[in-house]
Structure 1
């Protein structure tokens, strides 16, 4: 990140040798600072960002695969084309070819941290009601868990909100990024673990009453191993709470590449609810709750309109592009986005007031949630 700082003038009351006030670099300065790194990365081409394509389904092993979706990075607009294949036997949908370790690093960079940290942090921090609703899903089965591990916790905003629902519970968070450490420093979690859940699970064995995975499993390279890690970390009689995008949502078909939960290239796996139920049963869990209407996030039409507009509008200033946009391109982008405002408003109204109350009956719920008890 750039160390460039803007200097500000001082009022008369300061001593002559007072240190200069330091300002956060502007976004333009931040983009300029990281552009050389991105251009160096891209000079080697994109092949190293992908593994070899799979010929078998990673969930059931079937060789009967068909292409479900072809798309690009519609959120960050980083270069690359991404394919999702679907198994014709178990209906599991997965990214194929999958991102390599280098690809995961490249496409995640500046999304949750760096250039994207402030915007996304604000988005997550503003979703308190949704987090509380997730926490309440456990109440009929355990209204006083002693300790709870939130896997893929990000900056710990769920844990902070859930503490208001489960007042006597100690919340820990685990994440690949430094978000878990930031959450611990901010007091949102008691303990923030940074690293891989599958690697840390042995030291957490039978330690937790509850493990939650909210929109985490679809990001993981090997979901079955994550489920085994959860079984290891939960004590007998404890609960696992999982929420993931629903690949059987009608919106997934109707909106195609403009359906936000595809979130390529970050989302690697889309597990139909029947598959996840069966896998949990095989691991010794009993599913005690299945929800579709409650976890639905009413943003599909708004997001589809925004993604289409953002894709049509000439590009913004992005460090993975060789040059910043000129004045004409900036003007054109502003004009396209302004012209799209009525469609954005209509999408919002339909999402929240027309579709949301009947989302499950229409079959368009974009997520499902399971609560499972470890037997």
Structure 2
């Protein structure tokens, strides 16, 4: 509403709030730019480990390149490759980010500049979180305590409490979001750090340990699974949900398939591999789900990633300088032109593909429930 149409001639509070938000973000971007410029002064090669010549899952040396891409979400500089093992099917980032690289590419995604955006995204997925909690009901309808690994801001735990009101939920994450989760009361206890390093403190303590879209972020999935075995009490359960690298969407959409999420996702484990590894560790897989964990956003996300890649960049501290008015206008025009295609993608995702996703091999994730014997 403009001043001309408001009875009191004042400004619209909504416009004022948005203007203040944009001004605050611009100031934060400007303050961060010198630090990023220093980080990038010598290029990005220092962020990677040496290239592997063998599969980290089975040791085979029969590797082929599956995907080459860039950072399609933050648009930080760098190119990333995923290799696939021809013997076991494991797909992994190669060369992999080292510790400095992980810090650089995670920075300002879940926290810092990205905290508010990601908090809003995750906070609006209550139905999905309830579904994850409900998947435990046939196996343990009254767990006393539950540890959620990679809990982020704790939104899953808050929603799961509605399904399991008698369960105490704790959360663990390596970002400072877990502190926010504890302060907001979404988790009883929030632990910050590496799960394998903290696991000895929790030996055989929990009825349920969950890893929802966590394992693909870990540098050593096998180490994480061994830690989970130690933390789950005998007779308790481990609940894992990860992207499905065998989804047909992974091939059809190529680099525009959102679950590739480069450079954050380091490992993609086929379901048969994960079942065997859990069995070897001493778990019994009691449930495998493909329909329930499917998130119907593949086509919408692919269109958005392509539009966002084509349009001029939004301002970010890793850019040499902020975009001018012309580039901002061009970006707005490209995004506006893509709105009908985004709407079509949403409709196809939710109403055409979702009911048939598993039957067509398009499910983008799978979930396993495993009992510690």
TM-score by length of 1: 0.93
What does residue 55 of structure 2 align with?
57
Please state how far the C-alpha of 1:318 moved relative to its aligned partner: 1.1
Shift of 1:170: 0.4
**The one of 283, 286, 292 aligned to 1:285:** 283
Aligned to 1:267: 265
Alignment correspondent of 1:171: 169
Q: What does residue range 81-230 of structure 1 map to in structure 2 within 5 Å?
A: 81-230=79-228
Structure 2: distance between partners of 1:257 and 1:30: 31
> Residue 75 of structure 1: CA displacement?
0.2
**Cα shift at 1:314:** 1.0
Aligned mate of 1:302, from 284, 287, 300: 300
Per-residue CA deviation, residues 8-56 of structure 1 (Å, 9 max, x unaligned), is xxxxxxxxxxxxxx99961111111101110110002111100000000
Deviation at 1:192, TM superposition (A): 0.4
Q: 1:328 to 1:23 in 2, by over 3 A?
A: closer
Q: Tell me, in whole angstroms, the C-alpha distance in 2 between the residues paired with 1:345 and 1:273.
A: 32
Correspondence for 2:362? 364
Give the TM-score normalised by structure 2.
Answer: 0.94
Q: Paired residue for 1:334, among 332, 335, 350?
A: 332
In 2, the alpha carbon distance for the partners of 1:225 and 1:303 equals: 32
Matched position secondary structure for 2:207: strand
Q: CA deviation at 1:178?
A: 1.1
Q: SS in structure 2 opposite 1:248? A: coil
- The superposition leaves residues 155-176 of structure 1 with CA deviations (integer Å, 9 ceiling, x where unpaired) of 1100000001111000000000
What is the aligned residue count?
354
The structural deviation recorded for 1:320 is 0.5
Residue by residue over 1:66-90, the C-alpha shift from the partner in whole angstroms, topping out at 9 and shown as x without a partner, is: 0000000000000000000000000
Q: Secondary structure at the match of 1:154?
A: coil
Q: Counterpart of 2:245?
A: 247
Q: Deviations over 1:254-280 (max 9, x none)?
A: 000000000000000000000000000
C-alpha displacement of 1:104: 0.2
Alpha-carbon offset, residue 180 of structure 1:
1.4
Q: How does 1:20-31 map to 2 (within 5 A)?
A: 26-31=24-29
Partner SS, residue 305 of structure 2: helix
Structure 2 residue runs without a partner (length 5+): 1-19
| Distance (Å, rounded) in 2 between the aligned partners of 1:204 and 1:355 | 42
Quick one: distance in 1 between partners of 2:23 and 2:179? 24
Partner residue of 1:343 out of 336, 341, 344: 341
For residues 137 and 326 of structure 1, the distance between their equivalents in structure 2, rounded to whole angstroms, comes to 50
Q: Secondary structure at the match of 1:26?
A: helix
Query: CA distance change for structure 1 residues 25 and 207 in 2, over 3 Å: closer, same or farther?
Result: farther
Runs of 5+ unmatched residues, structure 1: 1-21
